[in-house]
Structure 1
Amino acid sequence: MSAKRTFGETLTAVAWSFVGLRRKRDFDRDVGAFNPFLVLAAALIGVALFVGLLLAAVRLATG
């Protein structure tokens, strides 16, 4: 059993997953180490940031 991951490590893993650059080795190492609630929280933060950036880009582009 691997050690549990911190929220910062979870945020980093989710961020790399959003970009699509998560290594298989890291995924295999972390599969059982993440707290599902922290992964969900990190994913919601990532989605909120992504939507916010899209809205800001649209506002900037449309004036």
Structure 2
Amino acid sequence: MTDSSNRPRASLWDTVKAVGWSFFGVRKNSAYQEDLRKLNPLHIIAVAFVAVVVFVVVLVLVVRHVVASAGA
């Protein structure tokens, strides 16, 4: 069992970048391995949840705008 206090910690921005790259499915293996060492899984889940909610809200707003402008 390893001591987690010696692990380097990632910033919130590092977590946001990792989640963003995962949305596109593009990531270098070396960067992925570094993320595994640094990122907290709970932070990844929280940021991913917020990102999905924002993505869905943006899609709904775009669809509503397109439908409203097509009916006018």
Shorter-chain TM-score range: 0.7 to 0.9
Sequence identity of aligned pairs in percent? 30
Return the TM-score normalized by structure 2.
0.77
| Aligned residue among 16, 19, 27 for 1:22 | 27
**2 CA distance for matches of 1:22 and 1:53?**
24
Bigger helix fraction: 2
Structure having greater relative contact order (Cα 8 Å, sep ≥ 6):
1
Which string of whole-angstrom CA distances, capped at 9 and with x for unpartnered residues, describes residues 6-25 of structure 1?
11110111011111122211
Moved beyond 2 Å, runs of 4+? none
Structure 1 unmatched runs, 5+ = none
Output the TM-score relative to the length of structure 1: 0.86
The gaps in structure 2 that reach 5 residues or longer are 1-5
Number of matched pairs: 63
Question: For the aligned residues, what is the CA RMSD?
Answer: 1.4
